[in-house]
């Protein structure tokens, strides 16, 4: 039966590759968000720097592998079969869990997931062993678990959240007081020293502390570094100060930009050094278990895994191979970009479209903070308060969507503070969560930088607590899922592995398709209605025409499918079109939310006609609402299997639908060809349709008097007629508003 354990090891390493892919997709946010958010360099340069950091950092992780082997449970209490069950349960659960978080675009902790999965799986196997034993009780489960180490790891992770937030906030506040938002003018005298201090600190904690974990650095070099640490740091500070000063004077390269690039490399290196254990530590422990079992010659049911207590150095080639997989994922994963976007959006300096809605708790936090701030301001002398305020005044910018989410000062603070905190933990072999640290440092610096203004604070706070709640959910789900999977594998062995791997594969493929479909939909919407980086009035008009044309096409399709599906009682089509209405509502809302930025660019060319475009968006929004009020009642009616509308109503709606479709086609032609002189034809057609709807309403009232229809039928039919009338009126106003926008913009452009 030795072959079955070889199969187990092979499966573990296959799962390790999958775990590396989904894990890096989640953790890329840790070291990419600051450089991407600040636009410190072209995207490819940032990726190359991060890739080099990951590759080198991977070789620093050997010492961290101890955590997966003996940090959570006592291996000498488990047989080789039981330990393999624990490891397989952990890897299967981890792949599914991380992939789920990646799909919804929320950063979670690979460290927390692996710790609680190891805890859940080992507790499960221990519980089964105790249940099968005649001499052990529930109280004996504790001897199977390394509770002291587990509690220390969990406590360290939770403590790191608070420390990261506070340190990030404090360092950013001091940095902003020194440099202000107009930091470029202060770089002449303080930039080089600031950059040198940050880089030297990073160098100390990443390189000097990290050297202890490598497998290839000679002992005499380690001894020399240990004996001359302060000399090395001092020399580093002086050298970097000179280098940064030279770069500034010769190439005008500011120090914070260099810090961001170096910090990205350092944080990627720290990530690989700390988090690689989360992805390959368990498979390597499984391989070590298998080797120890083969060398023992003892029966699998009797061989206890005390061998895992012995220190083992991981092969450099294995670590480099894992690093290569991580790098490939960095360059190819669209899910990694989605997770990075969530973190950048929550820390960006300006307002705009917010992903998260306000909650009662976030409103309470904002009210409390405002009250506290006002109280503090009363105590601080006015001169001091004014001096501080001057350092936090954000200069006017173009509000261009291409502008960085935050500046280089904040990006350099995020990277240097996070990398130092992570490296300190790594040097003490504490697997803290890099996600928690980097995210909370970014949130702390955002708070200090006043990125959470009165217009955005409630949404940002909701976002932060949503992510934090997801972290606690990670722990709970990881423990529970690993517990269940371990019990299942304990009793099903190889058959259970096949079933669970098949389930995991299905879930990953399905979430990939869902994510791919979602990204394609977003890409299509952006290409249709993207107003960014347009510097010609004609192109603005073309984009606006395309947006209105799309709105009319959507309205025509949705209205036709909704009415015809009501007549045919086709629930499936109604469900699909209902989802399309929701997506369209979200899209129009996003256009409306970005109105401020768009108007600032538009007003450079046509400052007197922007209000027409505001009307266009307003009527697009009303059209979307009318479509929603049409489809929802119809969907509920058909989905609930209520009686179909009577034959005479079907005939009336069919005639109305055909006339409306003809009107929509004419409107599309007018907007597409910009033949706005024909707008009167559409207006007169809409007026006729509105009159016809009023007549249909009178016919329905006669049916009520004669008792030909029920209450539910009447509510549906009258509501449908009213919303159809609203749709036509809003469509009429939309076409006229677009006509006015185009005509007056062109006229003003000619006059200028």
- pLDDT on residue 400: 46
58-62, 523-527, 582-586: range with lowest mean pLDDT: 523-527
Residue 310's pLDDT band (cuts 50, 70, 90): low
Domain total of the chain: 2
Q: Kindly state whether residues 629 and 736 are assigned to the same domain.
A: yes
Under the banding of pLDDT at 50, 70 and 90, the label for residue 217 is: low
Same domain, 454 and 570: no
Same domain, 429 and 530: no
CA torsion, points 587, 590, 596, 600, in degrees to nearest 10?
-50
- Contact between 567 and 654 (Cβ < 8 Å): yes
* 3-class secondary-structure state, position 449: coil
Q: What is the pLDDT of residues 321-379, one digit of tens each?
A: 888 888 887 777 766 666 666 666 665 665 555 666 677 777 777 777 778 777 877 78
Q: Are residues 578 and 453 in the same domain?
A: no
Residue 562: pLDDT above 90? yes
What's the chain's average pLDDT?
78
Q: What pLDDT is attached to residue 538?
A: 54
Tokens 């910018």 appear where? 397
pLDDT at residue 484 is higher than 90: yes
What single DSSP character describes residue 280?
A: I
Q: What is the pTM of this model?
A: 0.65
Last residue of a domain, one of 484, 518, 552: 518
Q: Do residues 554 and 462 share a domain?
A: no
pLDDT of residue 305: 72
Structure confidence at residue 566 (pLDDT)? 92
Residue 182 lies in a domain: yes
Residue 559 banded pLDDT, cuts 50, 70, 90: very high
Whole-angstrom distance, CA of residue 552 vs CA of residue 666 = 10
User: Is the residue at 402 inside a domain?
Assistant: no
Dihedral sign of CA atoms 209, 214, 218, 219 in order: positive
In a domain, 401, yes or no: no
pLDDT digits (tens, 9 = 90+) for 164-175: 888 988 888 888
Q: Which two tokens stand for residue 2?
A: 């030795």
Q: How confident is the model at residue 526 (pLDDT cuts 50, 70, 90)?
A: very low
Look at residue 532 and tell me whether its pLDDT is greater than 50: no
Range of the domain at 63: 2-395+409-518
For the cut 60, the answer to whether the pLDDT of residue 616 exceeds it is yes
Among 724, 14, 27, 56, CA closest to 432: 27
Query: Are residue 190 and residue 127 in the same domain, yes or no?
Result: yes
Whether the per-residue pLDDT at 533 is higher than 50: the answer is no
- Residue 404 forms part of a structural domain: no
Share of the chain above pLDDT 70, in %: 79
User: Can you tell me the distance from the alpha carbon of 573 to that of 489, in angstroms, rounded to the nearest whole number?
Assistant: 42
Q: Which residues contact 37 (CB under 8 A, 6 or more apart)?
A: 344, 347, 348, 404, 405, 406, 411
- Out of 93-102, 180-189, 607-616, 673-682, pick the least confident: 180-189
Alpha carbon distance 424, 436 (integer Å): 15
Query: Tens of pLDDT along 38-80?
Result: 777 787 888 888 888 888 877 766 554 455 555 677 878 888 8
Name which residue leads in pLDDT, 98 or 653: 653
pLDDT the model gives residue 347:
59
If asked whether residues 92 and 195 sit together in one domain, one would say yes
Question: 304 in helix, strand or coil?
Answer: strand
pLDDT at 131 over 90: no
Residue 501 shares a structural domain with residue 590: no
Residue 241 covered by a domain: yes
Q: Which residues of 609-627 are buried (b: 16+ CB within 10 A; e: fewer)?
A: bbebbebbbbbbbbbbbbb
Per the model's pLDDT, the better-predicted residue between 320 and 644 turns out to be: 644
Lowest mean pLDDT segment, chosen from 162-171, 469-478, 562-571, 613-622: 469-478
Establish if 79 belongs to a structural domain. Answer: yes
- Verify that 673 and 629 share a domain, yes or no: yes
Burial (CB count within 10 angstroms: exposed 0-12, middle 13-18, buried 19+), residue 517: exposed
**Average pLDDT of 9-23?**
79
Distances, alpha carbon 550 to alpha carbons 558, 588, 592, 667, 735, in Å: 12, 11, 15, 11, 12
pLDDT-wise least confident of 669-678, 724-733, 743-752: 743-752
Q: Flag whether pLDDT at 682 surpasses 50.
A: yes
Which residue blocks in 333-359 are alpha helix, DSSP H? 334-347
**717 and 587 belong to one structural domain:** yes
pLDDT at 28 over 80: no
The yes-or-no verdict on residue 317 having pLDDT over 80 is no
Please report the pLDDT score of residue 61 as a whole number: 61
pLDDT at 686: 92
- Residue 416 in any domain: the answer is yes
What is the mean pLDDT of the segment spanning 382-400?
71
Tell me what pLDDT residue 634 has: 94
User: What average pLDDT does this structure show over 531-540?
Assistant: 50
Q: What whole-number percentage of the chain has pLDDT above 90?
A: 15
Which residue's structure tokens are 């958010």? 37
Residue that is last in its domain, among 518, 546, 574:
518
CA atoms of 310 and 46, how far apart (whole Å):
40
Name residue 304's beta-bridge partners.
79
DSSP at 145: B
Over residues 615-621, the mean pLDDT reads 89
Exposed/middle/buried for residue 540 (C-beta within 10 Å: 0-12, 13-18, 19+): buried
CATH classification at residue 550: 1.20.58.220
**530 and 513 in a common domain:** no
Residues 6+ apart with CB under 8 A from 489: 85, 88, 89, 496, 497, 500
Calpha distance 335→512 (Å, rounded): 9
Q: Which of 518, 553, 571 is the last residue of a domain?
A: 518
Segment 617-641 shows an average pLDDT of: 91
Tell me how far the alpha carbon of residue 457 is from its chain's centroid: 18
Q: Is residue 624 part of a domain?
A: yes
Confidence of residue 720 (pLDDT cuts 50, 70, 90): very high
In this model, does residue 713 exceed pLDDT 60?
A: yes
pLDDT at position 399, please? 45
Tell me: do 170 and 302 sit in the same domain: yes
Confidence at residue 699, expressed as pLDDT on a 0 to 100 scale: 92
φ and ψ at residue 448, rounded to 5 degrees: -65, -35
Q: 157 vs 228, which has greater pLDDT?
A: 228
């Amino acid at each position: 039966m030795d072959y079955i354990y070889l199969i187990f090891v092979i499966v573990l390493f296959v799962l390790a590759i999958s775990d590396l892919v989904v894990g890096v997709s989640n953790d890329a946010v840790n070291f990419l968000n600051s450089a991407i958010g600040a636009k410190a360099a072209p995207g490819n340069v940032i990726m190359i720097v991060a890739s080099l950091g990951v590759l080198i950092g991977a070789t620093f992780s050997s010492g961290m592998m101890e955590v997966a082997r003996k940090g959570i449970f006592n291996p000498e209490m488990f047989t080789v079969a039981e330990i393999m069950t624990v490891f397989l349960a952990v890897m299967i659960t981890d792949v599914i869990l991380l992939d789920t978080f990646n799909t919804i675009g929320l950063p979670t902790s690979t460290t927390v997931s692996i710790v609680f999965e190891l805890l859940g799986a080992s507790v499960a196997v221990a519980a089964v062993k105790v249940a099968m034993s005649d001499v052990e009780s529930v109280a004996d489960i504790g001897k199977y678990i390394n509770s002291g180490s587990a509690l220390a790891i969990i406590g360290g992770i939770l403590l790191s959240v608070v420390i990261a937030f506070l340190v990030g906030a404090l360092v950013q506040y001091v940095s902003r007081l020194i440099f202000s938002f107009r930091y470029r003018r202060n770089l002449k005298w303080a930039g080089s020293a600031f950059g040198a201090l940050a880089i030297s600190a990073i160098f100390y904690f990443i390189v000097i502390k990290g050297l202890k974990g490598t497998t290839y650095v000679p002992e005499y070099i380690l001894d020399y570094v240990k004996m001359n640490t302060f000399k090395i740091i001092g020399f580093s500070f002086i050298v970097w100060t000179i280098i940064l000063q030279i770069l500034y004077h010769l190439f005008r390269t500011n120090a914070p930009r260099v810090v961001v690039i170096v910090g990205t490399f350092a944080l990627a290196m720290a990530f690989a050094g700390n988090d690689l254990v989360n992805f390959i530590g368990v498979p390597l422990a499984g391989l070590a278990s298998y080797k120890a079992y083969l060398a023992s010659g003892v029966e699998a049911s009797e061989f206890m895994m005390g061998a895992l207590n012995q220190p083992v150095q991981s092969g450099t080639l294995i670590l480099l191979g894992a690093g290569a997989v991580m790098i490939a994922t960095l360059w190819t994963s669209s899910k990694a970009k989605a997770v990075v976007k969530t973190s950048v959006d929550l820390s960006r300096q300006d307002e705009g479209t917010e992903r998260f809605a306000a909650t009662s708790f976030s409103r309470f936090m904002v009210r409390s903070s405002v009250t506290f701030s006002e109280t503090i301001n009363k105590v601080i002398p006015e001169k001091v308060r004014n001096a501080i305020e001057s350092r936090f005044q954000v200069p006017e910018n173009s509000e261009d969507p291409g502008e960085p989410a935050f500046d280089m000062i904040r990006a350099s603070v995020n990277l240097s503070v996070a990398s130092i905190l992570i490296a300190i933990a790594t040097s003490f072999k504490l697997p803290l969560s890099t996600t928690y640290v980097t995210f909370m440092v970014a949130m702390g610096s955002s708070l200090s930088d006043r990125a959470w203004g009165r217009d955005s604070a409630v949404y940002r706070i909701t976002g932060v607590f949503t992510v934090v709640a997801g972290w606690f959910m990670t722990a709970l789900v990881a423990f529970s899922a690993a517990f269940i999977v371990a019990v299942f594998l304990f009793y099903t062995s190889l058959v259970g592995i096949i079933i669970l791997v098949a389930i995991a594969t299905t879930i990953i493929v399905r979430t990939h398709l869902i994510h791919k479909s979602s990204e394609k939909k977003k890409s299509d919407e952006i290409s249709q209605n993207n107003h960014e980086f347009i510097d010609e009035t004609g192109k603005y008009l073309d984009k606006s025409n395309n947006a209105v044309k799309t709105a009319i096409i959507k309205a025509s399709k949705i209205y036709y499918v909704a009415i015809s599906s009501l007549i045919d009682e086709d629930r499936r089509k109604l469900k699909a079109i209902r989802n399309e209405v929701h997506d369209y509502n979200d899209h129009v809302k996003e256009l409306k939310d970005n109105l401020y930025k768009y108007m600032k660019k538009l007003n450079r060319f046509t400052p007197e006609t922007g209000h027409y475009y505001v009307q266009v968006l307003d009527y697009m929004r009303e059209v979307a609402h009318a479509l929603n009020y049409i489809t929802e009642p119809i969907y509920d009616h058909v989905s609930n299997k209520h009686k179909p509308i009577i034959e005479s109503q079907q005939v009336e709606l069919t005639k109305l639908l055909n006339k409306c479709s003809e009107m929509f086609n004419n409107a599309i032609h007018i907007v597409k060809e910009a033949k706005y002189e024909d707008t009167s034809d559409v207006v007169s057609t809409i007026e006729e349709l509105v009159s016809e709807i009023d007549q249909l309403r009178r016919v329905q009232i006669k049916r009520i008097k004669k008792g030909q229809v029920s209450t539910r039928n009447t509510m549906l039919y009258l509501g449908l007629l009213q919303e159809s009338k609203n749709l036509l009126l809003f469509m009429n106003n939309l076409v006229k508003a677009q006509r006015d926008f185009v005509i007056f913009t062109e006229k003003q452009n000619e006059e200028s």
